[in-house]
Structure 1
């Protein structure tokens, strides 16, 4: 049974989603859009810049996503000539990802813009409040989002077992 207080809270959550959370992705992604990249593609570019001998499967493992999901993102980076692949001389099947000169420049510029943008948020909120917001989002991710994803995964597995 939903109470008036719960209903009010639900309405506030819906309004927050409609007015703020839907726009958060584009707000966070903005520094990368100048280069026709999503924030996820920038993060892959950043991983390549900061990790030696990194392969597509390493990025997929770190992000806990499929290789095909990362492959689609890397295709965009290859198309823009921000990255290139080089085969391991000891095992030609292993392809290491590297930044081109342009990729290094773009990654550095986006990183500077992301850092400046985040620093601006911390200045507005103050470090303590920024920590609280991050902690709240981490808790929400762990207690709500992750639990829901695990529940949905087990439901899919159970329905497949019943077939």
Structure 2
């Protein structure tokens, strides 16, 4: 066994505390707009895309089913954050675009989340935040992505 029982206990304690804290602080401004964090990520991805983006493109990039993305998009449609444009060559394919309300919401949420993130940088220092991000990247590449193949 590679880790000690104490290491596992520390992991469980910090996993619960830190991730709940991060989730609560990041989700709080998002919840005001009747969205989940996942819906916000989709909203932001649609807004950041330089080309028309399809539901299946989003599902692929998030490594989830089309139905899971469809549920999130239905919320974004309901609150008028996105709209769909049918492909004239294949009307089953619909590009997703942000409405003006969606653009303003994305901009406001990025601002709000940036304030929170910048507080963490001020408290912990840029080097420690970068080390955390590097760890998350390594974890994604070495643990998550191999399991998805």
Counterpart of 1:159?
A: none
| RMSD across aligned positions (CA) | 2.1
Counterpart of 1:127?
A: 126
Unaligned runs of 5+ in 1: 154-163
Q: Residue 145 of structure 1: CA displacement?
A: 4.1
- Secondary structure of the equivalent of 2:131? helix
Counterpart of 2:74?
A: 75
Q: Residue 17 of structure 1: CA displacement?
A: 2.4
Counterpart of 1:14?
A: 12
Counterpart of 1:48?
A: 46
TM-score of the aligned structures, taking structure 2 as reference length: 0.86
Unaligned runs of 5+ in 2: none
Q: Is the 8 A contact 2:87 2:95 kept in 1?
A: yes
Q: Alignment length, in residue pairs?
A: 148
- Deviation string 1:30-72 (CA, Å, 9 cap, x unpaired) is 2211101111111111111121311111111222221111111
Counterpart of 1:93?
A: 92
Counterpart of 1:58?
A: 57
Q: Which has the larger radius of gyration?
A: 1
Q: Is the 8 A contact 2:25 2:116 kept in 1?
A: no
Counterpart of 2:35?
A: 37
TM-score of the aligned structures, taking structure 1 as reference length: 0.79
- Secondary structure of the equivalent of 1:110? helix
